[in-house]
Structure 1
Amino acid sequence: MWRWIKNVYFLTIKEFKSLFTDPVLLGLIVYMFTIGIIMAVNAASTELKNASIAVVDNDQSTLSHQLKDSLLEPNFKPPVDIQTNEVDRGMDVGKYTFVLDIPENFQADLLAGFNPKIQLLVDATAMTQAAIGSSYIQEIFSREINNYLNTNSALASPFTTSMQVLYNPNFSSKWFMGVMQVVGNLSLITLLLSGAAVIRERERGTIEHLLVMPVVSSEIAISKILANSVIIITVAIMSLFLVVRGYLQVPIDVTSVPLFALGVFTFLFSTASLGILLAIIAPTMPQFGLLCLPIYIVMYMLSGATSPIENMPIFFQTITQFSPQTILSSFAQEVLFKHATFSQAWEFLAKMFGMGSLFLCIALVQFKSMLSRQG
């Protein structure tokens, strides 16, 4: 046993030296956990920002002006007053995403007890803005009209609704996407590094050197997993502090980081094993890349990082529960956002460890078979 540990130690040192002589992979690691995260978070926001809106104000009353003034930046651009004959042209050329048509005598009819309607035209080709913006405008106008009429919801209802938003009170997509981008990059870079370590040995011919050494396949595979895991988990934690917590201003509790690091290490154990398995199947680096990327994309898209798992068909909801990426995404949300303790999150760790053990057993069998063929 001691000899096995000693061999793994020296082989791990060899893997460190081999990785640090590859500037392309080092540059890729730095980019993915710094600039890559910042660009992805800022470019793919789910919030409503700078939506163009025009208003056809046929009423020109105090209330209609109050409604226009309630559409504030940064959600909306300053509302533009237009005439009815300008609506179709403005919508056709994509000049306005929203057009409000306030009818004549809107304020007077409202005060008289009638139920006048405001027409909202939406350019749904801007899909995200259209869906979110319509809800925003409805909520804003309802609040402004109630304030104007000096209504009190408590008079119309025996109870008052009080909404408390937990974990992300400002509904900031950066808080969620920053952490999820780190999780997604962990998966991709782990697959690439662990697989590249095997293929690099094969392409450079150094795998023949290992065959004449008194080492076994498990020592070689474990050393590759350990070396890559140590580097990736170090970079990921630094990215969590410097990029997500520092630059993006996501309020991550420092006390939750050790448990998150444990989960990441368990995840790397399973994903690195999968990467080695894929590298054994693919004989060259280009073929490995073609095999690796589709698997990563499917794992990431079904993990709940880009869309809720509950929105997926039942079949995909079921199979994605067996993906380490899905388990880590749920684990990260529970630990970093909801401050879950070990007693609350141990099931995620057990699932990832189980998946990792399965992948590792298969990878070791295939790796030993590959070494036999090389010999």
Structure 2
Amino acid sequence: MMRSLSNIFWLGTKELRSLFGDLVLIGLVIYSFTVAVISQAQSSSQELHRASIAVVDEDNSELSRRITRAFQLPYFQSPVYISQGQIEPLMNSGRFTFVLDIPPNFQRDVLAGRKPSVQVNVDATAMIQAGIGSGYALQIINTEVAWFVARAETSTPAPVNLVTRIAFNPNVTTAWFEGVMGIINSVTMLAIILAGAALVREREHGTMDHLLVMPLSPFEIAMSKIWANALVIAVAVAIALYLVVRWYLQVPIMGSIPLFLGGTVLYLFFATAVGLFLGTIARSMPQLGLLYILVAVPINMLSGGMTPVESQPVWLATIMKASPSTHFVSFAQSILYRGAGFDVVWPQFLAVAAIGALVLALTLRRFRAAIATAGA
């Protein structure tokens, strides 16, 4: 046993030296946990921010001016007054995302209870801002009209006082979610690529033949590649969480980072085993890249990081429950977003360990067969 552990350790150090000598893979690791995380967090904003808006005020009343003043930063830029004839050319040129057209006699019709219409022209090529901004505009207009009418006449209070409490992300800031999810998605991607590339690299460089003539078992060779690549990714995850997410993006981490890292190491045995399995199939790096697209992209897309599992078709959600990536995303969000402890996430830890052990066993069996074929 001690001899086997020693072989696994020293083979793993050889893998680390080989990995750090590959500048392309090291650059991929650094990029994935720094620039990629920052760009995903800051460039995929899903909240309304400084949307351009213009107003055609054909009423020029106290109510129309009050509605115009209600569109303020940080959601909207200061409204610009334009004429009705400028609406189409200015929107076609992309100058404004929203144009509010308040009709003549709007205030008089509101006070008379005639329910006049206000036209909101929206440039839907800015899809996220268009969808969210339309709802914001409707809420602003209704609020200002309700306040104006209530001041003009006595109105009955609403029967229900609705109070909204947003947990974990009170400002609904996209960067808080996307920054952490960028790290989670990179874990699966790099675990598969690095482990698979380690095996393909041995085959391309001809060093696999050297390993076969040494007194080493396939188990020792496979486990050395798994622990070495898992260690690199675990360290990169820790650095990214502390320096990129906490310090640079200013995202508060609610839970225990060491607990999350422990779960990540558990998950990495599954992800690196998948990479090693693909490495036994691929004969070159381009082939490994194609296999990665077929396997890892669906795993990342359907694991709950991009869309909730509950929103997927029942049959697909049932299948994804058998994937450790789904449980990994679940306990990662519970720990980092909600501050959950081990007493909450242990079922997900157990599921990752059990399914990961099964995949690892199948991978080792496939790896032995591949080694035997190469030796023959």
Structure 1 and Structure 2 fold alike (TM over 0.5): yes
Give the Cα separation in 2 of the matches to 1:155 and 1:4.
Answer: 80
Residues 255-296 of structure 1 show CA distances to partners (whole Å, capped at 9, x for unaligned) of 511111111111111000000000101111111111112322
Letter in 1 for 2:225: K
Q: Which stretch has the larger CA shift, 191-200 or 61-70?
A: 61-70
Counterpart in the other structure of 1:242: 243
Following TM superposition, by how much is the alpha carbon of 1:244 offset from its aligned partner in structure 2, in angstroms? 0.6
Counterpart in the other structure of 1:194: 195
Q: Is the 8 A contact 1:12 1:226 kept in 2?
A: yes
Give the Cα separation in 1 of the matches to 2:309 and 2:122.
Answer: 28
Residues 224-269 of structure 1 show CA distances to partners (whole Å, capped at 9, x for unaligned) of 111111111111111011001111110113x511111111111111
Q: Secondary structure at the match of 1:156?
A: coil
Letter in 2 for 1:245: R
Q: How many percent identity over aligned positions?
A: 42
Residues 15-39 of structure 1 show CA distances to partners (whole Å, capped at 9, x for unaligned) of 1222122122111111111111111
CA distance 1:271–1:367, shift in 2 (3 Å): same
For structure 1, the residue ranges without an aligned partner over 5 or more in a row are none
Counterpart in the other structure of 2:234: 233
CA RMSD of aligned residues (A): 2.0
Pairwise mapping of residues 346-361 of structure 1 onto structure 2 (< 5 A)? 346-361=346-361
Give the Cα separation in 2 of the matches to 1:87 and 1:315.
Answer: 48
Following TM superposition, by how much is the alpha carbon of 1:114 offset from its aligned partner in structure 2, in angstroms? 3.7
Letter in 2 for 1:98: F
Letter in 1 for 2:243: L
TM-score w.r.t. structure 2 length?
Answer: 0.94
Q: Secondary structure at the match of 1:94?
A: coil
Counterpart in the other structure of 1:137: 137
Counterpart in the other structure of 2:179: 178
Give the Cα separation in 2 of the matches to 1:303 and 1:214.
Answer: 40
Counterpart in the other structure of 1:7: 7
Letter in 2 for 1:364: L
Q: Is the 8 A contact 1:153 1:160 kept in 2?
A: no
Following TM superposition, by how much is the alpha carbon of 1:90 offset from its aligned partner in structure 2, in angstroms? 3.0
For structure 2, the residue ranges without an aligned partner over 5 or more in a row are none
Q: What count of residue pairs does the alignment treat as equivalent?
A: 374
Counterpart in the other structure of 1:163: 164
Give the Cα separation in 1 of the matches to 2:24 and 2:144.
Answer: 56
Q: Which stretch has the larger CA shift, 278-287 or 351-360?
A: 351-360
TM-score w.r.t. structure 1 length?
Answer: 0.94
Q: Which stretch has the larger CA shift, 117-126 or 307-316?
A: 307-316
Q: Is the 8 A contact 1:190 1:228 kept in 2?
A: yes
Q: Which stretch has the larger CA shift, 238-247 or 309-318?
A: 309-318
Counterpart in the other structure of 2:66: 66
Q: Is the 8 A contact 1:154 1:160 kept in 2?
A: no
Letter in 1 for 2:120: L
Q: Is residue 311 of structure 1 aligned with residue 324 of structure 2?
A: no
Give the Cα separation in 2 of the matches to 1:3 and 1:222.
Answer: 14
Give the Cα separation in 1 of the matches to 2:146 and 2:243.
Answer: 45
CA distance 1:154–1:172, shift in 2 (3 Å): farther
Pairwise mapping of residues 37-52 of structure 1 onto structure 2 (< 5 A)? 37-52=37-52
Counterpart in the other structure of 1:26: 26
CA distance 1:210–1:182, shift in 2 (3 Å): same
Give the Cα separation in 1 of the matches to 2:140 and 2:317.
Answer: 35
Q: Is the 8 A contact 1:67 1:144 kept in 2?
A: yes
Following TM superposition, by how much is the alpha carbon of 1:333 offset from its aligned partner in structure 2, in angstroms? 1.0
Counterpart in the other structure of 1:335: 335
Q: Is the 8 A contact 2:41 2:177 kept in 1?
A: no
Following TM superposition, by how much is the alpha carbon of 1:104 offset from its aligned partner in structure 2, in angstroms? 1.7
Q: Secondary structure at the match of 1:100?
A: strand
Give the Cα separation in 1 of the matches to 2:374 and 2:222.
Answer: 15
Q: Which stretch has the larger CA shift, 303-312 or 146-155?
A: 146-155
Counterpart in the other structure of 2:214: 213
Letter in 1 for 2:168: Y
